[in-house]
Amino acid sequence: MKDKLKKRIWMCLFGVLAAGFSVGLFRMASFGVDPYQALMNGLHTVVPLDFGTMYMIATGVLLLFSLIADRHYIGIVTFINTFFFGYIVEGSHHFLKSIFGTPGFLGRVLFLIAGIVLMCFASAFYFVADLGVSTYDAVSLIVADTWKIGKFKYDRIIADLVCVVLGVTLFFISGGSFKDIGTIAGVGTVITAFFMGPLIDFFEEKVTKPLLAK
């Protein structure tokens, strides 16, 4: 039992760090970030705070929702995500930028593919570890598992699309132009919105559940 708890802790820590790094990959690709980050980037264009602080405040609001709706999803992952995820994203992006500079089109495509796969892979790790999830992940899980409205993968698609629309709207409200829309939403954002839920399910069944069961 103690060894399994250690494995779950390592799985959740890896999941959060890898998820933060994956957002850095999305930023390098410049084809749009994942849907929640699209919302955060949109907020960042209208809120006069650094990204890490703004992310912590916004995630804190979702944390309050989870505490009220279903505390089961609150755990180690939730608090790491709330207070440190924004800084992990910033650090990973600066690190990648210092090594690769501004990549060409092929490099951007590779960063996009790597970002999508790593994001879903990382999410499957901390979902299965069951030591809490990010406050954004908790929204779809609560709707599907606690409120029994639809299935997780479909609820996640709806939530992701709402984030994209809000992020883009805030970007234009702040005076953003179509030329720079790729910093908020792009092909990567759309792909992630429609396929992240199903891909997380795939990695859970094929990788993380068997890993935890060993």
- For the chain, the structural domain boundaries read 2-213
Considering the entire predicted model, what is its pTM? Answer: 0.77
Nearest to 35 by CA among 141, 168, 142: 168
pLDDT by 10s per residue, the chain, length 214: 667 888 888 998 899 899 989 989 988 988 877 788 889 888 988 988 888 788 788 878 888 898 899 888 888 888 887 778 878 888 999 999 999 998 999 999 999 999 989 999 998 998 888 888 888 888 988 998 888 888 887 888 899 999 999 999 998 998 888 777 766 788 888 888 888 888 888 998 899 999 888 7
Please, are residues 72 and 197 in contact by the beta-carbon 8 Å criterion? no
Please, are residues 213 and 7 in contact by the beta-carbon 8 Å criterion? no
C-alpha dist (Å) from residue 118 to 25, 34, 81, 124, 178: 9, 12, 16, 10, 28
d(CA 16, CA 199): 17
Please, is 143 exposed, middle or buried when counting C-beta atoms within 10 Å of its C-beta (0-12, 13-18, 19+)?
Answer: buried
- Helix, strand counts (H, E) of the chain: 9, 0
